[in-house]
């Protein structure tokens, strides 16, 4: 095969560092795996039953591009009640990743700039690149707070989008109401699209989740069922925002994803009525356990939501610490997967308690015993 076949854009996208860790995990025997960014509990039984029933009922062809009417109506009613916007439209996407792809490709022209908060979810930078844009990183170290003055200073004539994620991956940081309000108002003032990635909104442990859409009716919200209902492999998300913009994204979905998986949408309808508060309570307990066990050996900020900790490496770079951890059969993710900085690493506490217990003992030992 000729190298000339490969489009230039592909050379700007690196293979995911997380996938590299997953590949490594396959070669280890009984690793302590604190790297996986998905819930460890199984999909709730009513959701699995609804999927089986939809398949058995023959709901296996294409759905309408925007999604099945019962699911659309259920979510639309909830959004209307929650936000009270007159012109906000919902449609169903093929996962939140699909929603991000549609949003960025519908908004970003070549040369446009997209503001993201460093550290950022690994997909953001590469999807912006694919859309022809350039990421502008706002440094949030060491406490991962959103400094709206930094955002204001970064805005110029090429700024098209601000991309916000709260609760955040990889830091677990939950933005304050004041931060989100200020960000929303800045986006409105500057006429810049604000995308709010809310896939972890169920995992807000220390307060009630708030969306910046409360303060900016033009906010584009991306959400889904993957994390809340342990449906990561089912690829079911949804978006809502100004109706005119959603119509443009629907047009793109028609010629890319076509629709979200049809029988899975019926499962999503069942999932909407499943109470996941028990799982959230369990994960709050896991978060508290991890912080209690690690606070004496690691500097940890954020951690108010999602199911991640983003500690600073107690010695060396983030990569050096992670490399040593992997040598000791512990799988974690180096921070430079999510950031230009190589000072931190990501822990996922979406695991059984016994695995977390083994993990914290290994982490404490590693912190206290730097290799010569």
| Model confidence pLDDT, tens digit, residues 49-86 | 999 999 999 999 999 999 999 999 999 999 999 999 99
Q: What is the dihedral of CA 265, 308, 183, 106, to 10 degrees?
A: -40
pLDDT in tens, 307-342: 999 999 999 999 999 989 998 999 999 999 999 999
How far is residue 103's CA from residue 246's CA, in Å, rounded to a whole number? 9
Cα angle, residue 223 at apex, residues 218 and 229 outer, rounded to 5°: 160
Task: Tell me which residue has tokens 């989008």.
Answer: 161
Where residue 27 falls among pLDDT bands split at 50, 70, 90?
confident
Element housing 318 (H / E): helix 318-327
Q: Which CATH class is domain 59-271?
A: alpha beta
Q: Which CATH class is domain 3-43+276-368?
A: alpha beta
Fold equal for 3-43+276-368 and 59-271: no
pLDDT in tens, 86-142: 999 999 999 999 999 999 999 999 999 999 999 999 999 999 999 999 999 999 999
Evaluate whether 157 touches 109 at the Cβ level (below 8 Å).
Answer: no
Domain ranges in the chain? 3-43+276-368, 59-271
Strand partners, 204: 305
pLDDT in tens, 131-150: 999 999 999 999 999 999 99
DSSP-assigned letters across all residues of 153-216: HH--TTEEEEEEESS-TTT-----HHHHHHHHHHHHHHT-EEEEE-TTTT-B-SS----GGGT-
């Amino acid at each position: 095969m000729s190298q000339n076949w490969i489009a230039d854009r592909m050379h700007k996208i690196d293979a995911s560092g997380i996938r590299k860790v997953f590949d490594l995990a396959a070669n280890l025997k009984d690793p302590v795996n604190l790297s996986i960014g998905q819930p460890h509990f199984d999909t709730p039984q009513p959701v699995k039953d609804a999927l089986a029933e939809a398949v058995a009922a023959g709901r296996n062809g294409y759905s309408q591009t925007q999604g099945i009417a019962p699911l659309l109506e259920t979510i639309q009613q909830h959004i209307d009640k929650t936000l009270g916007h007159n012109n906000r439209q919902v449609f169903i996407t093929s996962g939140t990743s699909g929603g991000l792809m549609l949003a960025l490709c519908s908004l970003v022209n070549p040369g446009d700039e997209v503001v993201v908060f460093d550290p950022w979810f690994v997909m953001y930078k590469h999807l912006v690149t694919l859309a022809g844009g350039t990421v502008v990183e706002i440094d949030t170290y060491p406490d991962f707070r959103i400094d709206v003055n930094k955002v204001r200073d970064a805005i110029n004539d090429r700024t098209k989008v601000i991309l916000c994620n709260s609760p955040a991956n990889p830091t677990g940081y939950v933005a304050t109401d004041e931060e989100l309000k200020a960000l929303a108002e800045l986006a409105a003032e500057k006429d810049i699209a604000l995308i709010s990635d809310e896939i972890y909104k169920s995992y807000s442990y220390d307060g009630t989740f708030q969306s910046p859409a409360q303060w900016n009716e033009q906010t584009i919200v991306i959400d889904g069922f993957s994390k809340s209902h342990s449906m990561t492999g089912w690829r079911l998300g949804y978006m809502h925002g100004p109706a005119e913009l959603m119509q443009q994204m629907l047009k793109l979905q028609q010629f890319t994803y076509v629709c979200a998986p049809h029988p899975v949408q019926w499962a999503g309808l069942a999932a909407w009525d499943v109470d996941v508060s028990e799982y959230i309570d369990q994960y709050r307990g896991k978060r508290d356990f991890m912080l209690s066990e690690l606070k004496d050996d690691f500097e940890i900020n954020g951690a108010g939501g999602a199911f991640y900790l983003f500690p600073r490496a107690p010695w060396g770079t983030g990569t050096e610490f992670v490399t040593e951890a992997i040598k000791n059969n512990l799988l974690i993710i180096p921070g430079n997967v999510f950031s230009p900085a190589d000072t931190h690493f990501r822990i996922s506490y979406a695991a059984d308690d016994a695995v977390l217990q083994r993990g914290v003992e290994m982490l404490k030992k590693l912190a206290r015993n730097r290799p010569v």
